[in-house]
Amino acid sequence: MTIRVGILFNSPSKPLRGEEIDYLAEEEVLDQVNAVQEALKRLGIHHHLFPVKDDIEETVKALKFLKPDVVINLCEGFMGDSSLEMHAPSILEILGIPYTGSPPLTLGLCQNKGLAKAVLKACGVPTPNYCVITERNSSLKEDLKDLNFPLIVKPLREDASIGISRRSFVRDYMELKRQVEYIINLYRQPALVEEYIAGREFNVSILGNENPIILPISEIIFDFEDEPKIVDYAAKWLKESEEYAKTKPVCPAKLSSEIRIKVENAALKAYEALGCRDYARVDIRFESKTETPYVLEVNPNPDISPEAGFTRSLKAAGISFEDFIEKILGFALERAGKSLPPKR
């Protein structure tokens, strides 16, 4: 028995909004595609690429014609619009094709940071206090009456640290007004404003479903003397920048058993509350005074390129990339009542 695997991914295109430099985050999907292709070759599994370009009908026709048994879903948006990420698995569901990763509802929830935080709060998962500002002429003092400075201002519906810089850290209403207007004007969407949590930052990668496992935790070590200590766009993507040089991941993180258990429990509760599936990464800030792990974001279908945090945790766990790919293919096929063919 042979198996046909499809790799669905968004063909990089200029973002519809934001800064010109945001295109770097779009290109990253190609690194993931190359890594997955190499893993499938090592596994001896036949695969076919399904790039999503500007004509979704062509992609649908290709999927119907080639009929893959399962699809590895790496699609992060459509035509430069990351808010359309949730629609890729919706198409696969309509076509009856099993796929890896989280379902549309989870992707849509996590794409809207305000909704995701509302769900986390409702489920008792600590997350920084926040509000969503939809209009540039909003009464900020009234909107933020329950929040305390300093604050972080982010686009409501972006990922990969897009729209986040050191200017996102605001200490007063003048700085807040400037940054809210920047988000609404340039990114054409509401601004999420949340309290800044000073403390250690962790990336918690989770693999599995009924009995998910938590991979070795990665800590972000910041070499800045002053606040903010954040993973902004430059720290994530601009390798020649000071922010990148002063933001270093360490995996596994050096943690006491007490802190590790608290961080893992918060990450797992967030994973389950938002309906994540197969694999995800949860970003957490640990506030030392109250020993509270605050969930900043939940990333379903996170970046799995060779230098990404999830892949770093796989290596620390002794799990090869091809074993990871084999596992998530198995998860997807199992949901369809199928299984991977035995190895020869």
Place of tokens 């403390």: 199
Of 3.30.70.1280, 1.10.630.10, 3.30.470.20, 3.40.50.2000, which CATH number belongs to 197-318? 3.30.470.20
Rounded distance between C-alpha atoms, residue 196 and residue 166, angstroms: 12
What is the per-residue pLDDT across 92-140, written as a single tens digit (0 to 9) for each? 999 999 999 999 999 999 999 999 999 999 999 999 999 999 976 667 7
Token code pair at residue 185: 């004007």
- C-alpha to C-alpha distance for 66 and 17, rounded to whole angstroms: 34
Residue 13 pLDDT > 90:
no
Residue 77 and residue 85: Cα distance in Å, rounded? 4
pLDDT tens string 281-327? 999 999 988 899 999 999 999 999 999 999 999 999 999 999 999 99
Asked if the model's pLDDT at residue 267 lies above 70, the reply is yes
Nearest Cα to Cα of residue 272 among 106, 36, 126, 24: 106
- Residue at token pair 């389950």: 272
Distances (CA, A) of 184 to 114, 133, 163, 266, 327: 15, 9, 11, 31, 41
State how far the alpha carbon of 343 is from the alpha carbons of 324, 328, 329, 340, in Å.
16, 16, 14, 9
Let me know: does 196 contact 150? Beta carbons within 8 Å.
yes
Cα–Cα separations (whole angstroms), residue 129 to 122, 132, 142, 265, 290? 13, 11, 15, 20, 15
Strand, coil or helix: 301? coil
CB proximity list for 264: less than 8 A, separation 6 or greater: 204, 214, 217
Q: Quote the distance between the C-alpha of residue 72 and its chain's center.
A: 16
Domain boundaries, the chain: 4-101+323-335, 126-195, 197-318
pLDDT at 22: 67
Domain 4-101+323-335: assigned CATH number: 3.40.50
297/109 Cα distance (integer angstroms): 11
Strand partners, 285: 201, 294
Would you say residue 21 has pLDDT above 80? Answer: no
> Which is higher by pLDDT, 343 or 224?
224
pTM of the model: 0.94
Q: Do domains 4-101+323-335 and 126-195 have the same CATH topology?
A: no
Pick the CATH number of 126-195 from 3.40.50.450, 3.30.390.30, 3.30.1490.20, 3.90.1150.50: 3.30.1490.20
